[in-house]
Amino acid sequence: MDKSLHGSGHAHHPHHNAYKTEKNIFIAFLLNASFSIFEFVGGIITGSIAITSDAVHDLGDALSIGIAYGLEQKSRKSPDEKHTYGYARYSLVGSIITTIILLVGSAFVIYEATKRIINPVEIDYNGMVIFAIIGLVVNGIASYVTREGDSLNQKSVNLHMLEDVLGWAVVLIGSIAMKFTGIAIIDPILTLGVASFILVEAAKNLREIVVIFLEITPKNLNLEEVKTDIKQIKGIVDIHHIHVRSADGNENHASLHVVVQKYDKKIKNSVKNVLKKHGISHSVIEIEQTDEKCEEKICK
């Protein structure tokens, strides 16, 4: 008799969280697209590299966030014959796109700021103050509405918004400082600091995405503790061939072989409960008796 059993415990996020994530990304898209036009005008009027660079960056943001919004919607689709594991990783694709654009944009800002440090230009400080205040308000709202969500995709979008808030804070502080000191390089120096900070944060976000795609054991999960807890279940002799991965940075999946002295359907449910306790929402469990030989080529 085939004693291979497949148990799956789905713990999907509530639908309102999914819709909230999508809505927040869409709001961020609208704010970025409209505000980038305003920034271009501001950069031309004031001569500020901080404002002009942010305008170019925001156009890239708007494009990437628009793509992220579409992919976030697609990620909510149910599994089908073509995507048997579901569409969750489309959200990660959106995160990759927004993060890469963030990296490229930050590198561009660093380059432009460095040029302005070497060759300072005259700047309209009063105009910068006005644009900075408006920029802080608009991007502050965008950052607030995108602060919560359940995907790395939204995390990437929020990082964009955080960058914009910090950028405009720098513009405001820099413009006031330059107004009273007359030192023009304050603008590019502060811009350089913010861009470097965002570059590091974006790199961290990209690393997290790569870890998921490589199916490395989630960092918040101790595999040895999982094994120990499962082995303590009455009737289980041993476990092997255990694999744990994250589908999208939120849901953890596991597959494993459980060796028992005698088959008992309660054992599978007990194993599933232990896995759920460790944050593993979906599991595939194969039951083997001690007199069976595991046919898997790689079985640890």
Whether 231 and 259 have beta carbons less than 8 Å apart is answered as no
Q: To the nearest whole number, what is the mean pLDDT of the chain?
A: 78
End of a domain among 213, 233, 260? 213
* Least confidently predicted of 43-47, 206-210, 282-286: 43-47
Q: Of the segments 56-70, 77-91, 201-215, which one has the largest average pLDDT value?
A: 201-215
End of a domain among 188, 213, 238? 213
Co-location of 136 and 209 in the same domain:
yes
Whether 8 and 282 have beta carbons less than 8 Å apart is answered as yes
Has residue 275 got a pLDDT over 90?
yes
Say whether pTM exceeds 0.85: no
Q: Is residue 294 domain-resident? A: no
Mean pLDDT of all residues in 276-296? 84
Co-location of 184 and 64 in the same domain:
yes
How confident is the model at residue 35, as a pLDDT? 76
Has residue 1 got a pLDDT over 50?
no
Higher pLDDT, 28 or 286: 286
Please report which confidence band the pLDDT of residue 5 belongs to, taking 50, 70 and 90 as the band edges. Answer: very low
Mean pLDDT of all residues in 118-131? 80
Q: What domain count does the chain have?
A: 2
Co-location of 251 and 177 in the same domain:
no
For 47, left (φ over 0), alpha (ψ -120 to 50), or beta?
left
How confident is the model at residue 16, as a pLDDT? 47
Q: Domain with 59 in it: what CATH number?
A: 1.20.1510.10
Nearest-angstrom CA–CA distance, 282 and 285: 10
* Least confidently predicted of 58-67, 68-77, 234-243: 58-67
Please report which confidence band the pLDDT of residue 274 belongs to, taking 50, 70 and 90 as the band edges. Answer: very high
Q: Which domain holds residue 265?
A: 223-289
If you count them, how many residues does the chain have? 300
Mean pLDDT of all residues in 63-77? 76
Co-location of 227 and 184 in the same domain:
no
Co-location of 186 and 93 in the same domain:
yes
Tens of pLDDT, residue by residue over 142-175, are 778 777 665 666 667 777 677 778 877 887 888 8
How confident is the model at residue 230, as a pLDDT? 92
How confident is the model at residue 153, as a pLDDT? 64
End of a domain among 193, 213, 233? 213
Mean pLDDT of all residues in 92-119? 84
Nearest-angstrom CA–CA distance, 185 and 122: 10
Sign of CA dihedral 12, 18, 19, 20: positive
Please report which confidence band the pLDDT of residue 227 belongs to, taking 50, 70 and 90 as the band edges. Answer: very high
Q: Is residue 228 domain-resident? A: yes
Q: Is residue 5 domain-resident? A: no
Please report which confidence band the pLDDT of residue 108 belongs to, taking 50, 70 and 90 as the band edges. Answer: confident
Co-location of 197 and 232 in the same domain:
no
* Least confidently predicted of 161-175, 211-225, 248-262: 161-175
Closest of 187, 207, 7 to residue 115, by C-alpha: 187
Sorted by sequence, the CB contacts under 8 Å of residue 135 that are 6+ apart come out as 35, 39, 42, 51, 54, 164, 167, 168, 171
Q: Is residue 201 domain-resident? A: yes
Co-location of 133 and 81 in the same domain:
yes
**How many percent of the chain have pLDDT more than 90?**
7
